[in-house]
Amino acid sequence: MTSYSFNEYGQERVKIYRLDGSIDIDAPIRIHNYHLIVLTSGELEVDINFRVFKMKAGSSLHISSGDVIRKIASPANEYSGYQIVFSPEFQTEIRTTRKSPISLQLKKEFPYQEFTESEYEVIHSSVLRLISYIENTSHQFQGIIVKNETHNLLLHISDKRRKEHASTDINANHQEMIRKRFLNLVDGHCDEQHSVSWYAEAMMISPTIFRRSFGNMTAHQQEYG
């Protein structure tokens, strides 16, 4: 698997893998860096925190530090694209230039994004430019250019996400997402697990938020049911 690495201050800041039927993630695993998967061709199914995303050509998927990747699968492993890995420090530096609570909330709720053909051409070109800047180690301002191009890439994705989901009631969507993940868990573990704390921990939320979500669902059903 071909990879490109940008190092700064003695640390690996960004690493890009060219995907060709394999990916540098051994699931199940808890992620400690930030990942962006950009799929050029084929299909890829990724289970993150009991949320299953079915990627197709011309799409991207954000994976945040602390997320648990439970499974990665692809029909016949026939897919291609890029896996971009950011160190937590690099991600923090990039985020300081994108201080938008709405964008951060939307990325958390909607980490998967599909693009039109023309939109994906912009994303793909940005990734290729980023690779070229990482390879140009003789440039005196390489670090600045890599950060700027990374910033541009993430802004392109964020722009598409905001156009599609900015009007979404994020709180309502978050609670609905929790319910769906819970139902998926119950389907496979109801016989041996009966503790609220176990399900909350598996879903990476507090028991209080878990109870609140299902309390709201019960109230909604009583009002409209």
Residue 44 makes CB contacts below 8 A (sequence gap 6+) with: 23, 37, 54, 55, 72, 73, 74, 79, 81
Within a 10 A sphere around the Cβ of 215, how many other Cβ atoms? 11
Q: Quick count: other Cβ atoms within 10 Å of Cβ 46? A: 24
Residue 41 in this model has a pLDDT that exceeds 90 = yes
Average of per-residue pLDDT across 77-88: 92
For residue 12, list its beta bridge partners.
7
Higher-confidence residue of 101 and 121: namely 121
User: Is residue 105 classed exposed, middle or buried when 0-12, 13-18 and 19+ CB atoms within 10 A define those classes?
Assistant: middle
Question: Which segment of 29-33, 79-83, 168-172, 208-212 scores lowest on mean pLDDT?
Answer: 168-172
Per-residue pLDDT, 212: 65
Q: What integer is the mean pLDDT of 58-72? A: 92
pTM of the model: 0.75
Would you report the helix, strand and coil content of the chain in percent, each value rounded to 5? 50, 25, 25
Beta strands in the chain (DSSP E): 3-8, 11-20, 29-30, 34-48, 51-56, 59-63, 68-73, 79-86, 112-114
Q: What is the pLDDT of residue 217?
A: 47
Q: Is 36 exposed, middle or buried (0-12, 13-18, 19+ CB in 10 A)?
A: buried
Residues 6+ apart with CB under 8 A from 213: 175, 178, 179
DSSP 46-107: EEETTEEEEEESSEEEEE-TT-EEEEEE-GGG-EEEEEEEE-HHHHHHHHTT---HHHHHHH
The pLDDT of residue 224 = 35
- 30 bridge partner residues: 68
Torsion of CA 6, 82, 202, 183, to 10 degrees: 160
pLDDT digits (tens, 9 = 90+) for 123-167: 999 999 999 999 999 999 999 999 999 999 999 999 999 888 776
